[in-house]
Structure 1
Amino acid sequence: MKKLGIIAFALFIQTAFAQTNRFVYQVTMKPDASNKSDIKTENAYLDISAEKSVFYSENRIKRDSILQKAFQSGGGRGSVDRNQMEGLRSIINYSIEKDKKNQKTFFKDRIGRDNYSYEEDRPINWKISSETMKIGEYKVQKAETDFGGRKWTAWFTTDLPYQDGPYKFGGLPGLIVKVEDDKGEYSFDLMKNYKIADFPTLNQFGNTIKVKRADFVKQQKKFMDDPMSFMTQGGGGQFRIAATRGGGNQNPAEMRKRMEERIKDEAKKNSNPIELQ
């Protein structure tokens, strides 16, 4: 009986540590360089296990869930409520995975019709201050860094046993509760946390291309300069498909023009990215 009790306790401990912890951050952004009064706010998840962590938009997982149900029911994308999907649009289209064992950070984002993935090649060097304060229930300590062309101030707590944080941030002796840039254009604030059974599956539609970070930045700039070239690769099939929906009575040229205007407008609204260099 004693041996069984020890085994049961060991299994309990193993199960407890195998669980994934979800930290919910409120992300506040000013993504439009021409309109800094346009403030966007949405939630993002930082899911942490012993092996890895993943940071991504709450709206993304909600959209993925709706699409998955639509495909499972046999309806496909055409059966999805467009207004519902529009309400779940996100500025945080990227996801970030940190490999704890190998101390590597992987960034994934979409450019045009393809998904890109790169390994972050810049270390984050923190300057830890002795300054402390309370944020909510946590005692936090100040740290500062320069990263991606911005100066960042973070507040981390050792009350939680994780050396992690939102976005690409981590490497401090505790969990980052708050981090913001000195211009007040981007901030991440911890709102709550709870346990989940496992990491959700993030759907990746289209190809995934692994590149160096510098090559991703080049592709991103090309997209900002000429977004339509990325949408028409492969002979403009995307427009032919779109034009044939609804009985095929839509003009492909008009479809192209509307899409071009929409993409350029989206690019303008995201002209103040979190990383400036």
Structure 2
Amino acid sequence: MKINLSILLLLIAGFCLAQSNQFIYEYTFKMDSLNRNKSETENMVLQTSPKGSKFYSQVKQVYDSTMTATFKNAKATQQTHFDFTSLKQSKVSTEVIKTYPDYKRTLKKDISSNDLLINNDKKLDWKISKEKSKVLGYDVQKATTTLYGRKWNVWFAPEIPIQDGPHELCGLPGLIVKAEDSKGDHSFTLVGTKKIEVNPDEILNKKVSEIAINEEKFRKLWNDYKKDPAKDMRQTSGSSGSATVTMSMSYDGKTYSQDEMLKLIEKERKDALKKTNNFLELDLYR
């Protein structure tokens, strides 16, 4: 009996896909400890599968896919001008991967052009309170823990039997639907859910360029970056030699040459360091 090739491919693809829950959280954060009146928000996604979960910025996902497609096309067409005027930049670059059922966590962070992985297999020490309430229509219970030097108050919903939550928060008998640190500087609130079909292996996928390091190494890299935040850009620009093709870029309504863009990035990084000091993973930056 012959089977239509297209039907066979669909059947094979179906075995590779699994039902995934996407939980959308509104992340509210205050990055400047000297200006706690100013807060920013960004939607984050907790995407779960039978093998594990991934927590990432919705905006960053769009930004990364657009940039990848743009430079791939530029390489094929020898394009030398890039227009990113309408492309929205993410405020949050951090991602978190968790594996099930051990709930080992991998924190993905970047310093300059370095993509870094910090692995953590320590279980969170939860204190579950008898205090109960309702959040977003769910019956919830309060729990507290400490992570990266921050004390967290969270509300989990036992009726959603997923022991996961935003960022690295996980391990409770129900999905964490709301979380806030004790100072009120960082908070996550569930605002939406949906189901999609995904390849579980893609959720847990790691890039070839990502480097696994420990917390001590991360702190050293961060302190080096603070001393010279544009070092990597200068090295990349200077390593191409005389064969370098002159490029230009449109950004924020203006067009910049390669040298002008380098100076702009250096200025932006130095300015950001002055008012970016209240990180979610507080202990990592000390």
The TM tier, using the shorter chain, reads 0.7 to 0.9
Match of 1:265 in 2: 271
- Larger mean Cα displacement after TM superposition, 200-209 or 143-152: 200-209
Match of 1:232 in 2: 234
Unaligned runs of 5+ in 2: 1-10, 250-255
Unaligned runs of 5+ in 1: 1-10
Output the CA distance in 2 between the equivalents of 1:119 and 1:132. Answer: 33
Aligned length: 260
Residue deviations 1:113-170 (CA, integer Å, cap 9, x gap): 1211120254321100000000112100000112211111000001111000000000
Distance 1:193 1:64, change over 3 A: same
Output the CA distance in 2 between the equivalents of 1:182 and 1:239. Answer: 51
- What is the CA-CA distance between 1:201 and the residue it aligns to? 7.1
Contact 1:67 1:80 in 2 (8 A): no
1:134 and 2:134 matched: yes
Output the CA distance in 1 between the equivalents of 2:53 and 2:165. Answer: 9
- What is the CA-CA distance between 1:76 and the residue it aligns to? 8.1
- What is the CA-CA distance between 1:224 and the residue it aligns to? 2.4
Contact 2:80 2:248 in 1 (8 A): no
What amino acid is the match of 1:276? L
Distance 1:236 1:59, change over 3 A: same
Identity of aligned residues (%): 35
What amino acid is the match of 2:217? D
Residue deviations 1:26-74 (CA, integer Å, cap 9, x gap): 0000012232222100100000011110000000111123234435655
- Larger mean Cα displacement after TM superposition, 145-154 or 217-226: 217-226
- Larger mean Cα displacement after TM superposition, 50-59 or 225-234: 225-234
- Larger mean Cα displacement after TM superposition, 183-192 or 64-73: 64-73
**RMSD, aligned α-carbons:** 3.3
Distance 1:36 1:208, change over 3 A: same
Distance 1:225 1:44, change over 3 A: same
Distance 1:250 1:183, change over 3 A: same
Match of 1:120 in 2: 120
Distance 1:106 1:246, change over 3 A: closer
TM-score by length of 2: 0.79
Distance 1:235 1:72, change over 3 A: closer
Contact 2:54 2:203 in 1 (8 A): no
Output the CA distance in 1 between the equivalents of 2:135 and 2:169. Answer: 18
Match of 1:210 in 2: 212
SS of equivalent residue, structure 1 residue 153: strand
What amino acid is the match of 1:260? E
Output the CA distance in 1 between the equivalents of 2:72 and 2:197. Answer: 22
Contact 2:81 2:248 in 1 (8 A): no
Output the CA distance in 1 between the equivalents of 2:104 and 2:54. Answer: 12
Distance 1:103 1:75, change over 3 A: same
Match of 2:35 in 1: 35
- Larger mean Cα displacement after TM superposition, 149-158 or 238-247: 238-247
- What is the CA-CA distance between 1:173 and the residue it aligns to? 0.7
- What is the CA-CA distance between 1:262 and the residue it aligns to? 1.2
Match of 2:7 in 1: none
Distance 1:201 1:135, change over 3 A: closer
Output the CA distance in 1 between the equivalents of 2:126 and 2:183. Answer: 18
Contact 2:158 2:173 in 1 (8 A): yes
Distance 1:203 1:174, change over 3 A: closer
- What is the CA-CA distance between 1:272 and the residue it aligns to? 1.0
SS of equivalent residue, structure 1 residue 146: strand
Match of 2:45 in 1: 45
Distance 1:238 1:58, change over 3 A: farther
Output the CA distance in 2 between the equivalents of 1:271 and 1:140. Answer: 32
Contact 1:231 1:238 in 2 (8 A): no
TM-score by length of 1: 0.81
- What is the CA-CA distance between 1:89 and the residue it aligns to? 1.7
Match of 1:5 in 2: none
Contact 2:103 2:171 in 1 (8 A): no
